């Protein structure tokens, strides 16, 4: 093939195949990601899903899924959903307000860089370390509680709520708010100042701007970020397990209990059935999040 305009130069770029279609190698760059996702996400999920249909004798059964109707599993599902929803909504609101305060400042300011950097670290700070940090600080033997008690303020007069669902929700907000900042900040950056100026030039005020312009544009991003926070809290395990040792209110704790107790020997597929339940819920939430993000990207 001779390049147009210069017959002395030959090139093979864009050589068509026999069918007239060009062969592209752009997909090779995504092969490592697909291999990683298949090896560490799809393969374990498939093994768990298949194992949920097997009993202790290796025969096919549906009893593992029938056991999901047990009262303590249903209660854990409800408690996990409530805690995840409450912390997701609270974390989304507080994180959105913090993100808005950041956007109102200088885009290259020190405060923005510090908050974004801290959010990136705190959003990944969880597990046993986070639970120990709260116990050592505001726990019944923590220095904050001892200092407050010495000055006449006892916030444990009605029980040690740190080791209950209330305390678990407070601990979850520690990483939910920074995660909201990281996810929602790009959406706020996409709002153009010219849109507010156009609203004011047409006689609108701040309420009209947020009601008819910024609000409808940011709502899908806000709702999608809230769903992401819900999935983040719903799948958490180590923090809840280190903070609450009795009762196992979280569904992820029920999986650990089913594997470590005597039930695991007689019902090996029961823990896998609970895991499948969690996978289905988190997958649905993630799909909704992706759809909302796709809608937001059309405008921002």
The per-residue pLDDT for range 193-242, each reduced to its tens digit, is 898 899 989 888 989 999 998 999 899 999 999 999 999 999 999 999 99
* Cα 164 to Cα 80: distance, rounded to the nearest angstrom: 13
Return the domain boundaries, the chain: 72-297
Query: Using alpha carbons only, what angle is made at residue 187 by residues 184 and 189, rounded to the nearest 5 degrees?
Result: 110
pTM of structure = 0.86
Helix (H) or strand (E) holding 147: helix 143-150
Which residues does 264 contact at the CB level (< 8 Å), separation at least 6? Answer: 258, 270, 271
Rounded to 5 degrees, φ, ψ at 121 are: -80, -45
CB 176 within 8 A of CB 229: yes
pLDDT tens per residue across span 98-133: 999 999 888 888 989 999 999 999 999 888 999 999
> In terms of CATH, what superfamily is 72-297?
MetI-like (1.10.3720.10)
């Amino acid at each position: 093939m001779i390049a147009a305009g210069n017959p002395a130069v030959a090139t093979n770029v864009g050589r068509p195949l026999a069918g007239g279609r060009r062969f592209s190698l752009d997909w090779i760059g995504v092969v490592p990601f697909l291999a990683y996702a298949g090896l560490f996400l799809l393969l374990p999920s498939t093994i768990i899903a298949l194992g949920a249909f097997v009993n202790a004798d290796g025969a096919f059964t549906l009893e593992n899924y029938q056991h999901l109707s047990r009262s303590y599993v249903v209660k854990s599902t409800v408690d996990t959903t409530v805690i995840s929803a409450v912390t997701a909504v609270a974390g989304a609101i507080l994180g959105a307000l913090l993100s808005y305060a950041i956007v109102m400042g200088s885009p290259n300011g020190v405060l923005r860089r510090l908050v974004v950097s801290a959010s990136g670290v705190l959003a990944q700070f969880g597990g046993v370390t986070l639970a120990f940090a709260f116990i050592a600080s505001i726990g019944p033997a923590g220095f904050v509680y001892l200092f407050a008690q010495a000055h006449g303020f006892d916030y444990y007069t009605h029980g040690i709520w740190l080791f209950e669902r209330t305390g678990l929700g407070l601990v979850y907000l520690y990483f939910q708010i920074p995660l909201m900042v990281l996810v929602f900040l790009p959406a706020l950056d996409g709002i153009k100042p010219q849109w507010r100026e156009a609203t004011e030039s047409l006689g609108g005020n701040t309420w009209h701007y947020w009601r008819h312009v910024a609000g409808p544009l940011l709502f899908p991003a806000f709702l999608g970020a809230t769903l992401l926070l819900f999935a983040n809290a719903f799948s958490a395990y180590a923090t809840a397990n280190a903070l609450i040792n009795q009762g196992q209110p979280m569904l992820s704790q029920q999986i650990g209990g089913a594997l470590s107790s005597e039930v695991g020997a007689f019902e090996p597929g029961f823990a896998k059935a609970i895991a499948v339940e969690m996978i289905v819920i988190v997958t649905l939430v993630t799909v909704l999040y992706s759809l909302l993000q796709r809608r937001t990207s059309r405008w921002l």
